Copies of this chain bind each other. A is one copy, B any other.
Amino acid sequence: MRPGVALFDWSSIPEETPQPGVVRQTLHGERQTLVRYRYAPGAVFPVHVHPEEQVTVVLRGRLAFVVDDVEILGEAGTVVVIPGGVAHGARVVGEEEVETLNTFVPRRATAP
């Protein structure tokens, strides 16, 4: 395949645990970073900030975001856009596991 073309399988991508109950898998294009997050019930991702624009697609469950001190309920079927430099965090709502896909632009070197 031409350089830069790639096929990934989530089942082969290493899992990290950046917060208790939060599992993260990361892959990179040249211009963006894609992260799959899974959150156990009760999990919290503390408020933080990064320079990349973040788009979060909620695939399963319910996640309450705090974005610049405003609460936003992200449910399966919704998408949250968070510009770079805006403080945000999230916590699981209810007893269902949450799965999201997050894209970060530009590609990120490290993750908080």
Chain A residues in the interface with B (C-beta under 8 A): 1-2, 4-11, 27, 29-32, 34, 53, 55, 57, 59, 67-68, 70, 72, 74, 77-84, 86, 101, 103, 105-106
Contact = CB atoms under 8 A, between A and B. Distances in A.
User: Which 3 A-B pairs give the minimum distances between C-beta atoms?
Assistant: A4-B83, A31-B105, A6-B81
By DSSP majority rule, is chain A's interface helix, strand, loop, or mixed?
A: strand
Nearest to A13: B79
Given A1-B68, A1-B72, A34-B55, 7 more contacts: A5-B67, A5-B86, A8-B81, A9-B79, A10-B78, A32-B103, A103-B103
B5 A82 contact: yes
Contacts of A10: 77-79
